[in-house]
Amino acid sequence: MNIDKILPFAKSLLIKAVKPGDVVIDATVGNGYDTVFLAELVGESGQVFGFDIQNEAIVASKARLKQKSLSERATIFHSGHEYLFKLIPTNYHGKIFGAIFNLGYLPGSDKAIVTRPETTIAAIQQLLEIMAPEGIIVLVIYHGHKGGAEERDSLLAYCQQMDQKTAHVLQYQFINQQNHPAFIIAIEKI
Ligand code: SAM
């Protein structure tokens, strides 16, 4: 298949936007796969700030970073991403070039603990204030679970009304796949 699948496409957007030494955000660390990817992308002089509300995710992501000897490059907050503005030290504000939200529930865990539209949107609004111009926010939207359709619809409505003078907003989606395939919304700050 020549067209990028959803996760490779999400990564390719971040690879374009982020350079060694940059500051980036993993808004939903979960098992830490994206955190490790971002820590590798920013290199030794970069920094990843990660967020998750579940202790299980904090433990798993820290263990994964440690196993890859990447712990120094990441600060993981046991907190909702809706508090990112106040948790990320102000000296990093304006220097953030990439962020990923992998929405939905933690695979292999409690499916009732899911990301929610109000908090996801609050985090996006805060991020747009503290990102650098040309920084990219990637939302990977899963919508087959309970609450997923509501989050999808709220995010689409919120993103579609963004002023085109402040952000470029892209939707990347396979439109002939069965069973609620995940899709991407990417927001590039202008
Ligand atoms: N990126 C992860 C990985 O590589 O394994 C998968 C993330 S999983 C699909 C979604 C995660 O979002 C869950 O671990 C869940 O606990 C977390 N989450 C839910 N609400 C959150 C919030 N308000 N702030 C931060 N994380 C949240």
Q: What is the pLDDT of residue 156?
A: 98
For residue 6, give the nearest of 116, 114, 105, 139 by alpha carbon.
139
119 CA to centre of ligand 1 in angstroms: 12
- The residue count of the chain comes to 190
Q: State the residue for tokens 């000897």.
A: 69
Q: List pLDDT tens digits, range 45-74.
A: 999 999 999 999 999 999 999 999 999 999
Contact 61, 75 (CB under 8 A): no
Question: Is 79 near ligand 1, meaning CB less than 6 Å away?
Answer: no
Residue nearest to atom 24 of ligand 1 (CA): 80
Q: Which two tokens stand for residue 45?
A: 């002089």
51 CA to centre of ligand 1 in angstroms: 8
Please say whether the dihedral angle defined by the alpha carbons of residues 121, 29, 106 and 78, taken in this order, is positive or negative.
negative
Sheet holding 131-141, edge to edge: 74-78, 47-52, 23-26, 96-102, 131-141, 183-189, 167-172
Average pLDDT value for residue range 8-26 = 98
Q: Is the pTM of this model over 0.85?
A: yes
Q: Which of 28, 53, 124, 143 to mutate to test the pocket of ligand 1 (most atoms within 8 A of CB)?
A: 28
Contact 99, 139 (CB under 8 A): no
Q: What is the pLDDT of residue 187?
A: 98
Q: What is the pLDDT of residue 54?
A: 97
Question: Is 47 near ligand 1, meaning CB less than 6 Å away?
Answer: no
Q: List pLDDT tens digits, range 137-190.
A: 999 999 999 999 999 999 999 999 999 999 999 999 999 999 999 999 999 999
107 CA to centre of ligand 1 in angstroms: 10
CA angle 63, 143, 79 (to 5 degrees): 40
Q: List pLDDT tens digits, range 66-114.
A: 999 999 999 999 999 999 999 999 999 999 999 999 999 999 898 999 9
Residue nearest to atom 14 of ligand 1 (CA): 30
Burial of 44 (0-12, 13-18, 19+ CB in 10 A): exposed
